Amino acid sequence: MKRGLFITIEGGEGVGKSTNIEFIKTTLEAQGIQCIVTREPGGTPLAEEIREVLIKNREERVVSETELLLMFAARAQHLHQKILPALEAGTWVISDRFTDATYAYQSGGRGVAAEKVALLENFVQGDVRPNLTLLLDAPIEVGMARAKNRGALDRFEEEESAFFNNVRNNYLERAKADAGRFKIIDATQTLELVQTDIKDVLQKNIHPQ
């Protein structure tokens, strides 16, 4: 049994991750690849409960370390209960966010040292890393306008624009430093052009067995 590939989709708020994840799934399935779509924080019933705790607006200040640990608590559950069993069964996993989001939001956005994220990454994941990561990139104004159209803002979406600029810059810096795994997609283009780029990236970077 050939192990499945692990693909992640990253980006700021409102860059079109959901629409394009479905496109990736359809594209892979058309090549006869069995795959599942999942998301973080979340992906299993317990991890989805942790997600609710994380995104809920609340009076109490959420300490950055608490937020970081909850992200990794949800991730440990998701990884061991869903992602790894699927990969081992030969199913490909497409996840709407993974640990790159923790570097971008908790380190880039909140200012937690990247070394602390790396420590937890190694502790929770061992050597498991995505095989391919698509970063949907757009200036924050574009994404925030789309996010606001979706309705009430959650605890993250309520942040100031400086926070989202830091998130975006962190994603871009890390993507440039690891260009083998990360592919940056310009999400300001029309949906048709975004999907042409995605298809191109998939063709060049994945090799169905």
Give contact residues for ligand TMP (rule: CB under 6 A). Answer: 40-41, 55, 71, 96-97, 101-102, 105-106, 156
Least CB distance from residue 5 to ligand TMP, whole Å? 19
Of 81 and 90, which has the nearer Cβ to ligand TMP?
A: 81
Least CB distance from residue 10 to ligand TMP, whole Å? 9
Of 77 and 102, which has the nearer Cβ to ligand TMP?
A: 102
Single out the residue of 169, 45, 44, 20 nearest to residue 96, CA to CA.
Answer: 20
Token pair in block for residue 185: 């997609």
Contact indicator for 181, 110 with CB cutoff of 8 Å: no
Q: Which ranges constitute the DSSP H helices of the chain?
A: 17-30, 45-55, 64-78, 84-88, 99-102, 114-125, 140-149, 161-177, 191-205
Single out the residue of 195, 142, 198 nearest to residue 168, CA to CA.
Answer: 142
Distance CA 50, CA 67 (A): 10
Q: Which residues pair with 9 in a beta bridge?
A: 96, 134
Of 100 and 197, which has the nearer Cβ to ligand TMP?
A: 100
Q: What is the gyration radius of the CA atoms in the chain, in angstroms?
A: 16
Least CB distance from residue 136 to ligand TMP, whole Å? 11
Please state the φ and ψ torsions of residue 136, each to the nearest 5 degrees. Answer: -85, 115
Of 92 and 98, which has the nearer Cβ to ligand TMP?
A: 98
> Which amino acid type is present at position 100?
D
Please give the DSSP secondary-structure letter assigned to residue 60: S
Of 144 and 202, which has the nearer Cβ to ligand TMP?
A: 144
Least CB distance from residue 204 to ligand TMP, whole Å? 26
Least CB distance from residue 98 to ligand TMP, whole Å? 7
Distance CA 82, CA 99 (A): 16
Least CB distance from residue 101 to ligand TMP, whole Å? 4
Of 33 and 132, which has the nearer Cβ to ligand TMP?
A: 132
